[in-house]
Amino acid sequence: MNGLLTLPRVSLAVTPTPLQPAPRLSEELGVEVWLKRDDLTGLGLGGNKTRGLEYLLAEAIAQGCDCLVTGAGPQSNWAMLAALAARRCGLDPYLVFYGSPVPVTGNLLLDQMVGADVRFTGDPDRASVDVAIQTLADELRVAGRRPYVLPRGGATALGAVGYVRASLELAEQLLAAGLTPSRLWLATGSCGTQAGLVAGARWLRVPYQVVGVTVSRPAEECVARVLDLAGAVAELLGDRAGRLSRAGVRAPLAGRGGRGPAGRPHRGRLPGPGVLGQGHGLPDRRGPRRRSRRTGRVPGDRRRPDPVQRREVGAVKEAT
């Protein structure tokens, strides 16, 4: 796993992020719940994407790129953090959003403040972003620029390495706190975060299952993406360290048997159906009601309610 040490990385995140107990939620659910506070990663408004961006921006710099092109929805945490990270590293951010122009609030306002070049596809289909990113990158190349192009969510093997590293950080915290959790819950969108955690769990032989709750894509699509990306991360790091293999990651993910070399279960549970709401950015009537009743007011909820609400709704459904 020396790849973790030798892969180029720029420092963007404030780590380690705290691992904190959630006493009220634990009491209400009757299970001990701890929170890994990756909303406190420090760049901009924080969030999970910063860890992957440390590796991605390092590659962009190594390739001599002068701008970054990516996209998502107009309130995307990913796009906001990618734009901030690009600026931090001296690259010009270009963002492509699906749909038509919307009022400039929240993350879109931050995108504007950081001077990102923002464009809309005019098509409400999320996937319209994928083609538009490539088209814009081609235009920039013709204009003499050197774009670093990233897909929605930064969901690449290199980006997912950020959560292999986070797995190591978490393992150290769990050891120090004397905790052996049975499950690690997360929101899953473009699937890079879960893939990194699954690869990390496999490598570290942790006691917990990685359970993703899909916030956007159909569960079956997430399954395929997590499998592919976790395998690619394993290859990326395994090639360098010779420890991980695609087969080694696929087996626990498939859920057949699910026991690691040490006999411990470390299955990668896949995003379950039935927790998707009305759509991205739309309040889910199950989410806010449950959330306020079970957890009280938590700073940051309004800022990014969707994945967090769905993760909690999924966790509550599973645990109760």
Rounded to 5 degrees, φ, ψ at 67 are: -155, 160
Question: What residues does 209 pair with on adjacent strands?
Answer: 183
**Closest by Cα among 233, 234, 211, 235 to 223:** 211
Nearer to ligand PLP, 243 or 272 (CB): 272
Two structure tokens written together for 119: 């464009």
HSE, CB side, 13 Å, CA atoms: give it for residue 139: 8
Question: CB-wise, 92 or 284, nearer to ligand PLP?
Answer: 284
Q: Name the residue nearer to ligand PLP (CB basis): 75 or 128.
A: 75
The answer to whether 49 and 70 have CB atoms below 8 angstroms apart is no
Task: State the nearest-atom distance from the C-beta of 203 to ligand PLP, in Å.
Answer: 18
Taking the least distance from each CB to ligand PLP, the nearer of 167 and 190 is 190
Q: From the CB of residue 182, how many other CB atoms can be counted at a distance below 10 Å?
A: 11
Point out which residues bind ligand PLP (CB under 6 A).
Answer: 47-48, 77-78, 153, 155, 187-194, 304, 307
Minimum CB distance to ligand PLP, residue 89 (Å):
20
DSSP character at residue 265: B
- H-helix or E-strand spanning residue 187: strand 183-188
Q: Cα(227)–Cα(279) distance, rounded to whole angstroms? A: 24
Supply the minimum distance, in Å, between the C-beta of residue 47 and ligand PLP. 5
Q: Annotated catalytic residue: which of 76, 167, 190, 216?
A: 76
128 as an active site residue: the answer is no
Nearer to ligand PLP, 37 or 146 (CB): 37
* Shortest Å distance, C-beta 110 to ligand PLP: 14
Q: How far apart are CA 43 and CA 57, in angstroms?
A: 14
* Closest by Cα among 279, 256, 276 to 268: 256
- The residues carrying an active-site annotation are 76
